[in-house]
Amino acid sequence: MADKNLKPKKENRIKRWWRETVGELRKVTWPTPREAWRLTKIVILVMLIMGAILGGLDFLFTTVIGLALG
């Protein structure tokens, strides 16, 4: 009988986790659809710019190494 009181039931841990998760999600300040769309456009723009920069550097280094070795 004493062992039963030492270890909480798995069911109670799951309920507590769910209750705490819902409580934390209520504290979140969610963006408006307009803010979310604006931030999405910024992320896409940054990804395109970084892709172009990295692609350009890759091309440059490939060309330089090709000329040095070939």
pLDDT in tens, 23-58: 999 999 999 999 999 999 999 999 999 999 999 999
Number of domains within the chain:
1
- Looking at residue 5, its pLDDT comes to 59
**Domain ranges, residue 39:** 32-70
Task: With respect to residue 26, please indicate whether it lies within any of the assigned structural domains.
Answer: no
21 to 9, 26, 42: CA distances (angstroms): 19, 9, 29
- Looking at residue 3, its pLDDT comes to 56
Euclidean distance between CA atoms 68 and 70, whole angstroms: 6
- Looking at residue 70, its pLDDT comes to 84
Euclidean distance between CA atoms 21 and 27, whole angstroms: 10
Residues 15-20 have a mean pLDDT of 92
Cβ atoms of 39 and 31 within 8 Å: the answer is yes
- Looking at residue 57, its pLDDT comes to 98
Task: With respect to residue 60, please indicate whether it lies within any of the assigned structural domains.
Answer: yes
Euclidean distance between CA atoms 39 and 45, whole angstroms: 10
